[in-house]
Structures are given as C-alpha cells and as structure tokens.
Chains A and B, each alone.
Chain A
Amino acid sequence: MVDAARHPNIEIRAYTEVERVDGFVGNFKVQLREKAKYVLADRCNGCGDCAEACPIEVPNYFEMNLAPRKAAYVPMSQSVPLIYNIDMDACIHCYKCVEACGKLEAIDFAMEDKLVWEDVGAIIMATGYTHFDPSLIPEYGYSRFPNVITAMEMERLNNSAGPTAGNLIRPSDKTNPKRLAFINCVGSRDKRFYPWCSNFCCMYSIKNAVLLKQMYPDCDITIYYMDIRTPSKGYEEFYDRAREMGVHFIQGRPSLVTEDEETHNLYVHAEDVSLGKVIEREYDMVMLNQAAIPQLDQNVMSSLMNISQSPGGWFMEYHPKLRPMDSPTDGVFLAGACQGPKDIPNSVAQGSAAAARAGRILHSDEWEIEPIVAYVWEDRCVSADGKKCGICYNACPYGAIEYEQGQAAKVITAKCHGCGACVAECPHNSITQMHFTDAQILAQIHAVLAKRPEEKIVAFRCHWCSYGGADLAGTSHFEYTANERGLRVMCSARMDTDFIYEAFRLGAGGVLYSGCHPQDCHYITGQIIGATRADRLKKAFDRMEMTPGRFRIEWISAAEGDKYARVLNEMQDVLDEIPKEELLAEIEKLRPTMEKRVRRLRSVPGVEAAYQFSEKLENIIVKEIIG
C-alpha cells in the first residue's frame, strides 16, 4: 500500500465513493463524492494527538467491535494515507482535538462532502466481499453464547496487534481456552442460505489451528468439516502438517451447539460420519467459519457500473474461462472477491491481470470492437419526425443508445456489443445490425424453407448458448431430427417477431426459439427481452389456434447438447402426429394472418432484394439441381 501511495502515477482517494459513471470505454466520466473527514489531508501528519485528546469511545469496527476507538481515529494503524478522520455520528463537539492539534491547524469542522468529476479510461472493481451473519443459524448460538465467536473475531484475538495483544481469551471469563472447536461451512454449502463453497475457509481454519497449536501446544483443537478442500499448490501438504501437529479433524456437520449456563462451556453435537455415531463433546470456545457473501451494496455498484451479477449476486465476468477479469461492460474490469470467493493468491493474480487489461486501454489510441454493431437508418426513425418512441433506448442492455424526441436515435458504437435487442424491438424496422441484417436473416429463412417447408423445423439459436448446445449435440453424436434447420443470431433478443411470422408464412412445420438461461445471458438482460417477446408470440399463436408444440420456446445452455437433441425430437414427434393434410390446411389457414403481420417487411432496405435473390436461388437449386 505504501508503495502504491508513493508511486507517481497512482493516486489514492480514501474515504471517497463513486456516485455516477457516464461515458464508455476509454472515455468514462466518474462522479466522486469525497466525504468530509473534518481533517485537512495536506496538514495532518498522522501524529494521533487528536485521538489521544478525544474523550469519546465507540466500538472499533476493524477490531470486530472487540475494542474501542475514539471519535477521532484512523481505521487501522497501517492505514494509507495516514490521515485522521472525525466520526461526526459520535463527536460531541468538545473541540479538544482542535486544541491538541495546536499549530498544525489540521482540523476543520466546517468541511463538507465534495462532488468532483474525473475523466478515466478504465475502471477496476475491487470491492471485495463480506461475511455471513452466523446469528441467522440459531442452532450454533452465535450472539447468544458468549464463547461462540466468528473466524474474523478469532483473527483479531489471535493478532499481536489486536485488542488482546495476541493473548487468546474466552469472552465470557477472560481465561485461556484449552479446548477449541472450529465449525466449517457456516452458511456456505447450505441451500437455506448460500449454496456456494466459500473457497478459502478450509484453509484459514487449518491456518488458525496451526497458529494456535504453535502458540499453545497443549491446546486441544478440533475442526468439524463436511469436506476439506485444499485444491491449490502446497495446500494439501499444509493440511498434512496440521494433522501431524495433532489437530483433530472430525467429518460431520454439527447440528447443534448447547451451553452450560454456569461455566459457559459449549457442547457440540455432531455425527462423526466415519464412525456413524453421534458424539457430544465439550469445548471452551467454538469458532464459526462463515460463508463469504457479496457486499451488501453489490446491487447498487452493479447498476452504477452497468455490470451484471451471477445468480449468487457476485459480479459476472465476461467469460468464465477466457476472460475472467473482464466485466461485460468494456473498460470495466474485476479483481478479487467481488467476482466470487477467492483467496489471496488468486485475488493478487486477478488484480494484476485486470491492471494489465486496463493498461492495454490506456496505452492505445484506438479501441477495436466486434463489427456487429447496430446502425440506425435516420430517415426511418420516427423519433426524427417528433414522435415519441424510445423503445430501442429502453431495450439496450448497455445504455449504448442516445435518444431524444425530435432527433433520430443514435448508437454509441463503442458501447454497442451487438446483441441486436434494439434491432428486433424497433417497431418500424429503423435499426439494423451489421452482419445480421433483416435481409440476411430473411434470405436464410427463405433458403431453408425453399422445399417442402411443412417438414422443416426452423431453429433460431443464440450464438453463445443454444448454438453451442447444438454443436455439442453434434460432436457428442446425439441423434436428432434431420428436418432441423438452424439459424444463428447473436442473442435471443435479436429473434425478431417478423422472422417467426415469416417462417410460418412460408409454411414452416415448426419454429424453435432458443437462447441462454436467464442467468447465463452474454448480453446482461438480452435473454429477458427475448423471453418476453417469445411469450408474447406464443400467446398470439395460441389465439390463432395453431397446434401447440409447433412453436416452442426453450432455454438451452452450451452444455445441454442432450436437451437440444431431445427438444428437437419432441418437436418432430408433434409434427409426425399431425396428418399431413391437416398440417397443410392449418398452414394455409394461418397464411393470411401471417401475411398481414409481415406486410411492412418489404419496405426495409435490402429485404426486397433478398426476396428476389431467394427466388432466383430457389429456381436454380430447387428446380434445376434437385429437380
């Protein structure tokens, strides 16, 4: 930290919050709230005289509230920058600190929060994690039994700079505990609270056990665990060392902790799984290793930065394997436990990687993006005629569209990721997506339905999930109907209602609308936009009395090749069950309705040409080659 503070290119803004983020990669504008410290940073020399003079004591958060701090304080002794701060919630305005500060005159009670705008090129999120509150599990008695403590409290009690100067004592009677139990997985791997494994608790409970065993060799330490997870280099050897030192490991999740009211000793009830027997053991102290959970204001940060969250609430990475330090928003990177529970080596590695990624942006004058961005035909946009619309603006998951009534909508190319949500949502077909234009996709639909369309199933697949699922079905040799005709678009949000109507107008037997599962969407909320549209379509088809099963909505991930094959086989079964004449009659019956719904498509630039080209193609391929 001190190195960072001394570096000429690094500026540390302590006690400052991000209020707003505008702009895009390379050109962010960030609004910061520099909170009032009531101490002038350029005058304070960190001598601590103000804290000594201050008469107010409040619980010290850094010491897990096990010790007091003054209202004039630094969060911890190693704080960088070492500038004191006055806690106005606790201050009684006695001004003794001002007196103590004397000639330095560093204390200024008139200070106010300051809002400043900064230009930045890249943003790295390193907001960390927080701990699960174990008092939510009443069985373990935390906050009711004084000698049940959390791992972080143990960390302070066992620290030579901590409130007890490293002397481990029981909170109830201030004696040294002789028998200690550590309980792992408190709140983690628990469907009632947090289903994930918190990654580093096994290791820190072993670390604490080894440390205590070194300091108090006659201490009896037991670790209750479900599974000990030591997956990194040297970890298993450390686990071995702990066992050699005499730390007891009991496989079994305790179901209950009870307390003797007089001695405040604790009894841990657990099954020793290897014995298959229930054991009840007495301890002086019990330590709970709580789950690591996302910061309580993770949602606020997420909407501020426009980065999505994984199902558990952690920040979502762009790609779990290939780009684990990138957020879905260009120019915003993730480091450490804000992306998921992580130990120190992994956090350091990710932090360095994120810094390198950010450096790449800062060093270059140009930023390369995928060429599949959206483009607005200004003459077609109704907003330019002064009509109220803004549908594209609301649909964009990235905030890449600027919309103002009276002017045509504008795409900020650097922000656009090419999901196509705005393109499909635009009711006037005024937006198109490069390389996925309406004309191109319609031409594909025409091509796949050129011959015997009633036998075909048109499968719209999203690039990231269902297309991968179909790929997996192929490479895994899962058999599925040969009548499937797959069309790739980037996201289910690009699957325009027009495409589905056009496919049915041309007489397609079935249409599959497939994409990612909502939490897996590559484009933050793209799937949700797609799903809403698909549901609307389904209702419309139900009203038209189309045979159920001819239009199907399925969310298939890239790992679900078997599901892709199964869904298509089921669709084929539906088609097989309808007698051919009935199917053809139904297609004919619905054709006028479909015709009506796609009547405006021909006016879209390129579509007419695509239709003519398709017809020509049909003539060549179908009539001349196949015959």
Chain B
Amino acid sequence: MNHNPHAPETFADRVRNIPGGEHLEMCYSCGTCVSKCMIQQKVEPEYNPRRLLRLVMMEMEEEAYESPTTWLCSGCDLCYPACPQEIHISGVIGAVKSLAVEKGYTSPLDTVSVDESLCSGCAICVMVCPYEAPHLIEKIVDGVNDRFSEVDANRCMGCGICVASCPTGAIAREGVSNTDIVRQIPHEVVKTDAPSLMVFICDWSLRADADLEILESYPENVKVIHIPCSGRIDPQLALLSLRSGISGVLVCGCKSGECHYQRGTDVANCKISMLDRMFDQMDLADGRVRFVQIGTQDRGRIRKEIDQMLLHLTSLQEVC
C-alpha cells in the first residue's frame, strides 16, 4: 500500500497495482517458493522467485526485467499453497512480466511457431493452451480471406501441448516437434523374450536426481523419451511405438494440480483415456498403454511403475 499519496509512483507500486501483485511486501524471504519450484534445479540456476520479489521491493527495475525468473515462471502455482505468507507469487511474477513486455523486453524462451501453409485455422491450439498464447488472425492470402493461428511469443512457455493437439501438424518447437520425437522411436524392434517398453516421461514429474538415475539403470528393452510435459503426448506417438514392435507404452506425467504447465497432465489424461476407449471398442484393451501421474512426494515411484508395467507385459506375452 502506498503510505504517502503525494509520493511519485514507484516500480513496486506499479507491480502492486496489477492484479496479482498486491501482497508483494508480505514476503519474509523464507525460500519455500524457491525450493518447491523445480526450475532452479532443472533449468536455470539463477532462477529465484524470492529474489525477484526483493528486486521489485528494492526498485531494481532493469534487473527485474532481465532476471530469468520473470520469464521462466510457468504459473504452475506449486508455491502458492505452500507459501506461509499466502503470497500469490506467480501473480507477482506475471505482473513484472507484463510491465517488462510493455517496456519492450521479449521472452528468451524457445517458443512454438506456426507454419501458415499447414494451419487450417481450426483454433484447437487456442482452446488447449494454458497461457492464451495462440490466437486467430485474419489475413488475405491469394485474394481469399483466411484464418490463421498466431502465437504470442511472450506468453508461450514452450510446453508443446498445442504441438500434440494440432491436427494438421502446423505447430512446432525446436526439440519437441513431431519429427524430433518420431526420430527417437526405433523403426523396428527385434523380438526377444523380454518385453520392451517405451517410456514417455515428462521432465517435471521426477523431482529427485535419484529418480532420473533409476530411469537410466534399466537395460536396452526400456526406452525413454523425454518430453517437456505429458500434455505433449500425442496418441499417435503411442500407436507408432506399438507398430514398431514395442510391447507397451508408459506415459508419466505430474499429479493433477501439480502440472508444471497447469493443465498439461489433464490434457494427457484425456488423450490416453480416449485411446483406451478406442482400444476397448476394438477389443484390444489389455493395458498396453498406461498413463501414470507422479506426485512431488512420490520418490522412487517410477521404479515401481516401470517394474509393474514390465510384469504386466511379460504376463501378456505368456498368454500369447
């Protein structure tokens, strides 16, 4: 709150005036938000929401705009329910970000791009995006008024949910485009006694480094493909894996409500259960494709899930 109505408006005042930025001064720097968030561990060592709040309070405007924290926060709100001062931290960061965009700063993130020659203007990407980054524009092409999707690079967090949802394959992001992932699926798998398993793992669902080591500890028959969010999973990728001779597909995402990209895990859940229903209609439902949601406290659960899946696939093979 502004104690002196006649004082000029400061940077902190401007942040406070944006909805979400109100409780700025309540922060007592306990560090809960920093350790609850996985961005510092996984992406950017300089990422620190607590420090961004300090930068705003200390009127360090330029530094706040240039800080990676401003741009990397995906608004998952894991920190919000944990904050002892009930500060909506992603709201404050969002306020700083919108001021930065006003000042002409741009997001340093890898964002998605739309290939207009393929885009049909169906607006599915507009519906699935958690960040309202894509929107439709109208353009005259060859004398015909046509609709295209356009992505606001300052809003896009690069989760790839839209990439997986685009029916024409018009959206891509470096590293997670369809071709990038398909290239990692082997063309043909040699049949052995042991069942083979394809694991699509969301990078955020495994908090501990020890869990990542578990993934690497499995032999050849368990193949791992890292995706930025389970929402990036396209049922076709699962089908493609099965066609190449892999016995089963396991998709790992975060627990609902803990998704790094807000609703990616829910989107993935919908897609995999849709695939399940499809298999059911074709009398093929035998648990070959499974979606698991791993919570922040489920240390070591990935090993259990993979072992269970392998056991299940072995029993399927024996039946055959």
Check B207–A258 contact: CB distance below 8 A: yes
Check A278–B41 contact: CB distance below 8 A: yes
**Residue of chain A at shortest CB distance from B79:** A255
Check A191–B31 contact: CB distance below 8 A: no
Total number of A residues with any Cβ neighbor in B under 8 Å: 33
**Residue of chain A at shortest CB distance from B209:** A280
**Residue of chain A at shortest CB distance from B78:** A255
Q: CB of B32 within 8 A of chain A?
A: yes
CB distance from A109 to the nearest CB of B (A): 50
**Stretch of B122-130, B266-274, B293-301 with 4 or more beta carbons under 8 angstroms from chain A:** B293-301
List CB contacts (< 8 Å) of A262-321 with chain B.
Answer: 262, 267, 269-273, 276-280
Q: CB of B135 within 8 A of chain A?
A: no
Assembly CA distance A255 to B32 (angstroms): 5
Q: Per a CB cutoff under 8 Å, which of A192, A255, A262 touches B35?
A: A255
Q: CB of B48 within 8 A of chain A?
A: yes
Q: CB of B184 within 8 A of chain A?
A: no
Considering residues A138, A254, A272, which has the most beta carbons from chain B within 10 angstroms of its beta carbon? A254
- B-chain residues with CB within 8 Å of residue A270 when the two chains form the complex: 31, 35
**Residue of chain B at shortest CB distance from A259:** B299
- A-chain residues with CB within 8 Å of residue B50 when the two chains form the complex: 271, 273
Considering residues B41, B79, B208, B299, which has the most beta carbons from chain A within 10 angstroms of its beta carbon? B299
Check B297–A258 contact: CB distance below 8 A: yes
Would A278 and B40 be within 8 Å (CB), given that A192-B86, A226-B28, A252-B30 are in contact? yes
CB distance from B306 to the nearest CB of A (A): 15
CB distance from A436 to the nearest CB of B (A): 36
List CB contacts (< 8 Å) of B189-216 with chain A.
Answer: 207-209
- A-chain residues with CB within 8 Å of residue B207 when the two chains form the complex: 256, 258, 269
Assembly CA distance A207 to B296 (angstroms): 33
List CB contacts (< 8 Å) of A181-221 with chain B.
Answer: 185, 189-192
**Residue of chain B at shortest CB distance from A274:** B31
**Residue of chain A at shortest CB distance from B299:** A258
List CB contacts (< 8 Å) of B29-80 with chain A.
Answer: 29-36, 40-41, 45, 48, 50-51, 79
- B-chain residues with CB within 8 Å of residue A262 when the two chains form the complex: 300
Assembly CA distance A261 to B297 (angstroms): 11
Q: CB of B19 within 8 A of chain A?
A: no
CB distance from A276 to the nearest CB of B (A): 6
Assembly CA distance A255 to B207 (angstroms): 13
Check B31–A190 contact: CB distance below 8 A: no
Check A271–B86 contact: CB distance below 8 A: no
CB distance from B296 to the nearest CB of A (A): 6
Check B30–A256 contact: CB distance below 8 A: no
- A-chain residues with CB within 8 Å of residue B299 when the two chains form the complex: 258-261, 267
- A-chain residues with CB within 8 Å of residue B84 when the two chains form the complex: 185, 189-192, 253
**Residue of chain A at shortest CB distance from B41:** A278
Would A256 and B297 be within 8 Å (CB), given that A191-B84, A267-B208 are in contact? yes
Assembly CA distance A427 to B289 (angstroms): 78
Check B41–A253 contact: CB distance below 8 A: no
Would A191 and B34 be within 8 Å (CB), given that A258-B207, A258-B297 are in contact? no
Q: CB of B137 within 8 A of chain A?
A: no
Assembly CA distance A139 to B297 (angstroms): 8
Q: Per a CB cutoff under 8 Å, which of A139, A190, A277 touches B40?
A: A277
Assembly CA distance A389 to B81 (angstroms): 51
Q: Per a CB cutoff under 8 Å, which of A185, A256, A260, A271 touches B31?
A: A271
Q: CB of A177 within 8 A of chain B?
A: no
Check B32–A258 contact: CB distance below 8 A: no
Check B208–A271 contact: CB distance below 8 A: no
Check B300–A256 contact: CB distance below 8 A: no
Check A253–B31 contact: CB distance below 8 A: yes
- B-chain residues with CB within 8 Å of residue A139 when the two chains form the complex: 82, 297
Check B86–A191 contact: CB distance below 8 A: yes
Q: Per a CB cutoff under 8 Å, which of A255, A258, A280 touches B36?
A: A255
Considering residues A141, A191, A260, which has the most beta carbons from chain B within 10 angstroms of its beta carbon? A191
- A-chain residues with CB within 8 Å of residue B31 when the two chains form the complex: 251-253, 255, 270-273
Q: CB of B168 within 8 A of chain A?
A: no
CB distance from A205 to the nearest CB of B (A): 16
CB distance from A267 to the nearest CB of B (A): 7
CB distance from A238 to the nearest CB of B (A): 23
Q: CB of B85 within 8 A of chain A?
A: yes
Considering residues A192, A227, A255, A267, which has the most beta carbons from chain B within 10 angstroms of its beta carbon? A255
List CB contacts (< 8 Å) of B96-147 with chain A.
Answer: none
Assembly CA distance A170 to B34 (angstroms): 30
Assembly CA distance A258 to B41 (angstroms): 16
CB distance from B56 to the nearest CB of A (A): 16
Would A141 and B297 be within 8 Å (CB), given that A256-B36, A271-B50 are in contact? yes
- A-chain residues with CB within 8 Å of residue B300 when the two chains form the complex: 260-262
Assembly CA distance A139 to B79 (angstroms): 12
Assembly CA distance A280 to B31 (angstroms): 13
CB distance from B53 to the nearest CB of A (A): 13
Would A253 and B208 be within 8 Å (CB), given that A141-B297, A191-B86, A278-B40 are in contact? no
A252-B31, A271-B34, A271-B48 given; 17 more Cβ-contact pairs under 8 Å: A139-B297, A191-B84, A191-B85, A226-B30, A253-B31, A253-B32, A255-B32, A255-B33, A256-B36, A257-B297, A269-B207, A270-B35, A271-B32, A273-B31, A276-B34, A277-B45, A278-B35
- Contact surface of B with A, Cβ cutoff 8 Å: 28-36, 40-41, 45, 48, 50-51, 79, 81-82, 84-86, 207-209, 296-297, 299-300
Listed A/B pairs (18) with beta-carbon separation below 8 Å? A185-B84, A189-B28, A192-B86, A252-B31, A254-B32, A254-B35, A255-B35, A256-B297, A257-B297, A258-B296, A261-B299, A261-B300, A270-B35, A271-B31, A271-B35, A273-B50, A276-B48, A278-B34
List 7 A-B pairs, minimum CB-CB distance, nearest first.
Answer: A271-B31, A255-B36, A253-B30, A271-B34, A190-B84, A252-B31, A258-B299
